[in-house]
């Protein structure tokens, strides 16, 4: 059988634009539809597993429609279904009249989902504090938990995001990271975001402080929060 | 504790904690390979914990061994890494295609049973076996469409596949039952299919439930095994050997672990 024959069947199953029921097979309508119905159900099930809060926000019926619309335009391209859905936020952004919450929520939940497959962190290292006192900051880089990132989310999502968060409070800024094997998130002070961004991006602690000199006084507070919440794990020589 | 047993269980997420807490006697558990394609995290951690007490069989659903565009290098890399980590007792996937036109069907799509398709499947199976450094098992499908132009009977296709590639057949008696019904036949057709398979080529037997949606039976692994399928299992064991491992599959509407262990116990004596 040819690649074209195979492609025609897959395109029809996933509802690709212009796809017609494939030729060259003994197929009842029920038989073909069994494959398409499986694809539809799989799309909903897979995306609901990754985006449970988005499904709650939109409602099951609307989410199911979204899942198939997304699947038709962004069908799976690899055999690991856990890697599918990363383009959902951008897809939502492109829908006319879309509110700001769904795309932001989709990006947030995708970030949480992706942490599940990342390499495990080593344990937190209490020698951090001694290193901070004794080591030249030009030769020190902080070690953060897997997946650490800041997300800017509409404050209308605060109630939903507060459920399960590490600490209470509200957005719009939320910090996500992997804590052990589970995703974690917490509200994050906007005043501290520049210093954290510099710590994440710059090659050394000294470079981070030079990048944000006006906010250097906030460093101690950021480090203490990171250690307490478990997203700052230690330091290493740069 | 599991010495002499041959019937294992497909391990799915709702039973992770129960299995690790109770550690029932099982000769092996099976997992879907693709659910553990990761660098770390909870799923892989659970699998390592399970592996400490059980032999693990890796059953893939995503390689698409019959895909005309070839195998996915990333997928192969992930599988190879998982095999090295888990040291599974068996590795298997399906005689299907999935990758086509830049998409992945996320389904097990049927192949045409002809020489060209057989040659491609043999080549791809050998690629996987060389990459993994071990032989694999290949499962035949439950299918709801049939391609025109078959030139080989399905059992002959699989006899040739196992003989030429060195893989073993993963026999699924529920698939046989579903296919026979959907083709307008019955258990006799399924028995004839098994009767045409070369003894010694079967490395594992799967048993599962299916859904009756009217005109079609759908192989959804979502209900208990029915009596005619139990009977096919017994006949398969009689033909292919009572030491051939058996797997009970349940992927949807997953009941409590004890319900599945009762079915596993029945498979053991079938």
Q: Where are the domains of chain B?
A: 7-269
| Residue that the structure tokens 């079609």 belong to | B216
| Residue that the structure tokens 């909903």 belong to | A44
Determine if the pTM surpasses 0.90: yes
| pLDDT tens string A80-134 | 999 999 999 999 999 999 999 999 999 999 999 999 899 999 999 999 999 999 9
Q: What is the pLDDT of residue A26?
A: 78
Give the closest-approach CA distance of B30 to chain A in angstroms.
Answer: 17
Indicate if the pLDDT at residue B1 is higher than 70: no
Q: How crowded is residue B71: how many other Cβ atoms within 10 Å of its Cβ?
A: 20
Query: Which residues, at least 6 apart from B17, have a Cβ–Cβ distance to it below 8 Å?
Result: none
Q: How crowded is residue A28: how many other Cβ atoms within 10 Å of its Cβ?
A: 14
Residue A133 located in a structural domain: yes
Domain end position, chosen among A89, A115, A141:
A115
Look up the CATH number of domain B7-269: 3.20.20.150
Residue A79 located in a structural domain: yes
Nearest to A9 by CA among B98, B74, B253, B206: B98
Q: Can you tell me the mean pLDDT for B14-35? A: 97
* Enclosing domain of residue A75: 3-115
Residue A100 located in a structural domain: yes
Instruction: Give the CA diameter of chain B.
Output: 52
Terminal CA-CA length for chain A? 56
Q: What is the pLDDT of residue B215?
A: 82
Q: Is the same domain home to A141 and A86?
A: no
Nearest to B99 by CA among A119, A146, A7: A7
Q: Is the same domain home to A92 and A132?
A: no
A118 Cβ under 8 Å from any chain B Cβ: yes
How far does Cα B101 stand from its chain's mean position?
25
Residue A120 located in a structural domain: no
Q: Is the same domain home to A79 and A20?
A: yes
Q: How crowded is residue B51: how many other Cβ atoms within 10 Å of its Cβ?
A: 16
Assigned token pair, A49: 């597993």
Q: Is the same domain home to A66 and A167?
A: no
Q: In total, how many domains does chain A have? A: 2
Nearest to A146 by CA among A186, A110, A189, A116: A116
Query: Which residues, at least 6 apart from A90, have a Cβ–Cβ distance to it below 8 Å?
Result: A103
Domain end position, chosen among A65, A87, A115:
A115
Main-chain dihedrals φ then ψ at residue A91, nearest 5 degrees: -60, -45
| pLDDT tens string B141-199 | 999 999 999 999 999 999 999 999 999 999 999 999 999 999 998 899 999 999 999 99
> Following DSSP, what letter does each residue of A131-197 receive, concatenated?
HHHHS-GGGEEEEE-TT-EEEE--GGGHHHHHTT-SS----SEEEEEEETTEEEEEE--GGGHHHHH
Sign of the C-alpha dihedral computed for residues B17, B20, B21 and B24 taken in this order: positive
Q: Is the same domain home to A104 and A37?
A: yes
Query: Which of A3, A4, A10, A74 would best serve as a mutation to test chain B binding (most B beta carbons within 10 A)?
Result: A10
Sign of the C-alpha dihedral computed for residues A205, A206, A207 and A211 taken in this order: positive
3-class secondary structure, B40:
coil
Q: Is the same domain home to A94 and A169?
A: no
Across the interface, of B68, B78, B105, the residue whose CB is closest to A1 is B68
Give the closest-approach CA distance of B203 to chain A in angstroms.
Answer: 24
Share of chain A above pLDDT 90, in %: 82
Q: Is the same domain home to A67 and A8?
A: yes
A32 Cβ under 8 Å from any chain B Cβ: yes
Nearest-CA residue of chain B relative to A121? B40
Q: Which residues of B touch A31 (CB under 8 A)?
A: 144-145, 182, 216
Q: Can you tell me the mean pLDDT for A163-168? A: 88
Residue A122 located in a structural domain: no
Nearest-angstrom CA–CA distance, A180 and A161: 20
| pLDDT tens string B227-253 | 999 999 999 999 999 999 999 999 999
Query: How is residue A120 annotated by DSSP?
Result: P
Domain end position, chosen among A80, A115, A150:
A115
Nearest-angstrom CA–CA distance, A106 and B236: 48
């Amino acid at each position: 059988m040819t690649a074209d024959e195979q492609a025609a069947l897959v395109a029809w199953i996933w509802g690709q634009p212009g796809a017609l029921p494939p030729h060259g097979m003994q197929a009842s309508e029920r038989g073909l539809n069994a494959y398409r119905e499986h694809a539809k159900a799989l799309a909903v099930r897979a995306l609901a597993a990754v985006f449970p809060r988005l499904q709650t926000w939109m409602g099951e019926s609307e989410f199911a429609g979204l899942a198939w619309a997304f699947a038709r335009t962004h069908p799976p391209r690899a055999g690991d279904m856990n890697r599918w859905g990363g383009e959902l936020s951008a897809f939502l952004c492109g829908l006319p009249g879309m509110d700001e919450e769904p795309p932001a929520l989709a990006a947030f939940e995708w970030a949480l989902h992706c942490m599940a497959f990342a390499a495990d962190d080593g344990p937190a290292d209490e020698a951090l504090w001694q290193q901070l006192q004794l080591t030249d900051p030009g030769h020190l880089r902080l070690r953060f938990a897997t997946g650490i990132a800041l997300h800017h989310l509409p404050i209308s999502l605060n109630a939903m995001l507060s459920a399960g968060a590490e600490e209470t409070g509200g957005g719009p800024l939320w910090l996500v990271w992997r804590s052990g094997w589970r995703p974690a998130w917490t509200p994050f002070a906007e005043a501290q975001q520049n210093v954290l961004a510099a710590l994440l991006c710059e090659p050394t602690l000294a470079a981070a402080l030079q990048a944000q000199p006006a906010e250097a006084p906030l460093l101690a507070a950021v480090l203490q929060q990171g250690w307490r919440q478990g997203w700052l794990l230690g330091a290493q020589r740069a | 504790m599991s010495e002499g047993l041959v019937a294992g269980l497909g391990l799915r997420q709702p039973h992770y904690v129960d299995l690790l807490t109770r550690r029932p006697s099982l000769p092996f558990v099976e997992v879907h390979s693709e659910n553990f394609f990761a660098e770390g995290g909870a799923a892989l951690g659970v699998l390592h914990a399970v592996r400490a007490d059980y032999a693990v069989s890796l059953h893939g659903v995503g390689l698409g061994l019959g895909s005309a565009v070839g195998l996915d290098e990333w997928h192969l890399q992930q599988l190879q890494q998982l095999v090295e980590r888990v040291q599974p007792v068996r590795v298997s996937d399906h005689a299907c295609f999935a990758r086509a036109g830049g998409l992945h069907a996320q389904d097990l799509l049927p192949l045409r049973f002809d020489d060209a398709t057989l040659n491609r499947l043999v080549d791809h199976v050998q690629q996987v076996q060389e990459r993994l450094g071990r032989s694999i098992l290949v499962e035949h499908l439950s299918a709801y469409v049939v391609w025109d132009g078959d030139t080989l009977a399905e059992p002959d296709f699989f006899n040739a596949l196992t003989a030429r590639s060195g893989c073993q057949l993963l026999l699924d008696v529920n698939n046989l039952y579903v296919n026979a019904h959907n083709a307008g036949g019955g258990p006799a057709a399924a028995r004839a299919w098994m009767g045409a398979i070369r003894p010694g080529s079967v490395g594992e037997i799967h048993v599962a439930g299916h859904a009756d949606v009217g005109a079609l039976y759908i192989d959804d692994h979502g209900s208990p095994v029915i009596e005619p399928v139990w009977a096919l299992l017994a006949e398969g064991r009689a033909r292919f050997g009572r030491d051939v491992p058996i797997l009970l599959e349940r992927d949807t509407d997953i009941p409590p672990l004890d319900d599945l262990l009762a079915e596993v116990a029945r498979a053991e004596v079938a």
